Amino acid sequence: MPAKVITITSGKGGVGKTTAVANLAVALASQGHKVVCIDGDIGLRNLDVILGLENRIVYDIVDVVEGRCRLKQAMIRDKKLPELYLIPAAQTRDKNAVSPSDMSRLIKELRPDYDFVLIDSPAGIERGFRNAIAAADRVVVVTNPEISAVRDADRVIGILEAEEKGPAALILNRLNPTLVKNGDMLSPDDVLDLLAIELIGIVPEDENVIISSNRGAPVAFDQKSRAGQAFRNIARRLNGETVPFMSLDHQGGFWDRIQRLAGRK
Amino acid sequence: MNETNSLIQIKGLRDGLLVSLDDAPWEQQRTALITQVDAQPAFFRGARLALDVSSQVLRVNELVDLRDQLSERGITLWAVISESATTEKTAQLLGLATRIAKPRPEESRQFSVSDLGEETAMFLNRTLRSGTRIEFAGHVVVLGDVNPGAEIVAEGNVMIWGRLRGMVHAGSKGNRAAVICALDLSPTQLRIADEVSASINPREHPRPERARINENGKLQTDFWSNG
């Protein structure tokens, strides 16, 4: 079966796109899928760092596009997961080094041999974003429960709708259940009320995410981490499985409502 | 030159190029334009291009394809000028400008809603998300929400069958009789003619509401009541 091509984007920077890509890639590969992730953030690459593969980079995506190497030569195999590959971005060029049609050609070449291609989009809505969504079958928008991040997510969803890229799915990242309960943070209800798209996962705030990113071993490897569990669940949902939303609060109430929300399309 | 080039005229503007297309099927026009660009890549590279498509009715994928093709040749499509309301709407939803001239000094002629006629409405069957700006020389009707960060500027009335949380300017050319109605009126800002009101706090129990300029010349909102 040809690969599913999924682009992860957000509009606003710093909401956790790259972390999401790394974790979903690790989770999907651990679940036995052949996965390629592509760093679309040319000029500001960091997916390689989060995956702990920085020191293995010889060729990057611009080398492929400009014909200095074959696609396979730019694909770096993960240290732990033999079915996980990274195509790194170039650090010394800018977004204009790659065009949407370059991206489509590259994806076309990958499609027959893999199960998932995950594309890490840069922040913003300019050329790099256009490259990242050019060949996507599905777009996942990451946001935080903050007004500015939600506003930018709304903008990106609007662009995707206007260009008829199909309905986007939402990951709500870095949710702090205690703050929400005290009314100090936007609730998933508030966010979905405005964005009105399918919720595919809620990732709780978890300091292990930062610790593991710095170690170059995404938190999805960590069986004890709540955030890791959330990413593993999202990966299964991307694969078409139905996975109940996990309860982060044992007093029920709030999280029961989330589960009901998640059940609605 | 050859016949394809007779389909397009190119004019220099202060800040870019204006390309006018003659009446012809879209596919021919598009090919003619791309052919022209490919014949003189150095002339076009880096250009900001405004496109006058006269009465051509264009759909989203047609405009997106053209924009991407131009973008790969280093050309930015920033405006589409059209006599068709459908094309105008498509362009605005894609974030393209639909007027290129600087606004003229405020025209002094008086407008009234009835001058606009009842046929001059734009109907949007969708939610307007952040970053969308709809400008229309008539009434605007939205079946959906207007989210924060979205803007509607209409010369006539604006009616939102949904939640209004963005910015709406009705009677934008000075029509003080224009009104704004919404099922839930919680805008970032409202304007009618030259009156401006800052945000209205979200209602605990939203009800259909209408904003207008009252007898004292101030913006006023009233809940809708059947009577």
CATH number for B44: 3.30.750.24
The single-letter code of the amino acid at A134 is: A
Nearest CB to B130: which of A99, A155, A162? A155
Statement to judge: residues B51 and B140 lie in one domain: no
Statement to judge: residues B64 and B158 lie in one domain: no
CATH of the domain at B211: 2.160.20.70
Task: Report the gap between the CA of A158 and the closest CA in chain B (Å).
Answer: 5
- pTM listed for this prediction: 0.83
Rounded Cα distance between B58 and A198, Å, is: 30
How far are the Cα atoms of A92, A221, A239, B187 from residue A19, in angstroms, in the given order? Answer: 22, 13, 19, 35
Statement to judge: residues B196 and B138 lie in one domain: yes
CB contacts, 8 Å: A164 with chain B: 60-61
Rounded Cα distance between A57 and B102, Å, is: 50
Residue where the block lists tokens 């590969």: A29
* Residue A143 in this model has a pLDDT that exceeds 90: yes
| Per-domain residue ranges of chain A | 4-263
Alpha helices in chain B (DSSP H): 26-39, 41-44, 60-72, 85-93
Look at B148 and A159 and tell me if their CB atoms are within 8 Å.
no
Taking a C-beta distance cutoff of 8 angstroms, is the pair A88, A8 a contact?
Answer: no
Classify residue B103: in a domain, yes or no.
Answer: no
User: How many structural domains is chain B composed of?
Assistant: 2
Statement to judge: residues B146 and B176 lie in one domain: yes
Beta strands B48-52 and B76-81 are parallel
* B68 shares contact with chain A (CB less than 8 Å): yes
Rounded Cα distance between B154 and B174, Å, is: 11
Classify residue B29: in a domain, yes or no.
Answer: yes
User: Domain limits at B160?
Assistant: 113-223
DSSP B103-132: PPSPP-PPP-GGGG-SS-EEEE-SPBPTT-
**What would the pLDDT profile of B49-76 be if each residue is shown by its tens digit?**
999 988 889 988 899 889 988 988 889 9
Look at B94 and A162 and tell me if their CB atoms are within 8 Å.
yes
Statement to judge: residues B164 and B216 lie in one domain: yes
Residue where the block lists tokens 């009314």: A183
Taking a C-beta distance cutoff of 8 angstroms, is the pair B215, B195 a contact?
Answer: no
Task: Report the gap between the CA of A51 and the closest CA in chain B (Å).
Answer: 32
**What would the pLDDT profile of A99-116 be if each residue is shown by its tens digit?**
999 999 999 999 999 999
Sequence-distant (6+) residues with CB within 8 A of B135 are: B92, B98, B99, B152, B153, B154, B172
Task: Report the gap between the CA of A216 and the closest CA in chain B (Å).
Answer: 36
**What would the pLDDT profile of A180-235 be if each residue is shown by its tens digit?**
999 899 999 999 999 999 999 999 999 999 999 888 999 999 999 999 999 999 99
* Residue B35 in this model has a pLDDT that exceeds 70: yes
CATH class of A4-263: alpha beta
Classify residue B84: in a domain, yes or no.
Answer: yes
Sequence-distant (6+) residues with CB within 8 A of A209 are: A16, A19, A219, A225, A227
Q: If you average pLDDT over residues A112-138, what whole number do you get? A: 94
Residue-wise burial string across B29-63, b where 16 or more C-beta atoms lie within 10 A, e elsewhere: bbebbeebbeeeeeebeebebbbbbeebebebebb
Classify residue B67: in a domain, yes or no.
Answer: yes
Task: State the average pLDDT for chain B.
Answer: 86
CA A196 to chain centre: 19
* B129 shares contact with chain A (CB less than 8 Å): yes
Q: Which residue among B32, B61, B93 closes a domain?
A: B93
* Residue B227 in this model has a pLDDT that exceeds 70: no
At B109 the pLDDT is 40
Interface test with A, best of B70, B76, B89, B129 (most A CBs within 10 A): B129
Residue of A45, A44, A56, A122 lying closest to A85 (CA atoms)? A56
% of chain A beyond a pLDDT of 90:
81
Statement to judge: residues B41 and B69 lie in one domain: yes
Statement to judge: residues B63 and B148 lie in one domain: no
Statement to judge: residues B82 and B146 lie in one domain: no
Classify residue B202: in a domain, yes or no.
Answer: yes
Confidence band, pLDDT 50/70/90 cuts, at residue B85: confident
Statement to judge: residues B84 and B137 lie in one domain: no
CB contacts, 8 Å: B148 with chain A: 151, 154, 194
Sequence-distant (6+) residues with CB within 8 A of B90 are: B58, B59, B60, B63
Statement to judge: residues B69 and B118 lie in one domain: no
Statement to judge: residues B47 and B131 lie in one domain: no
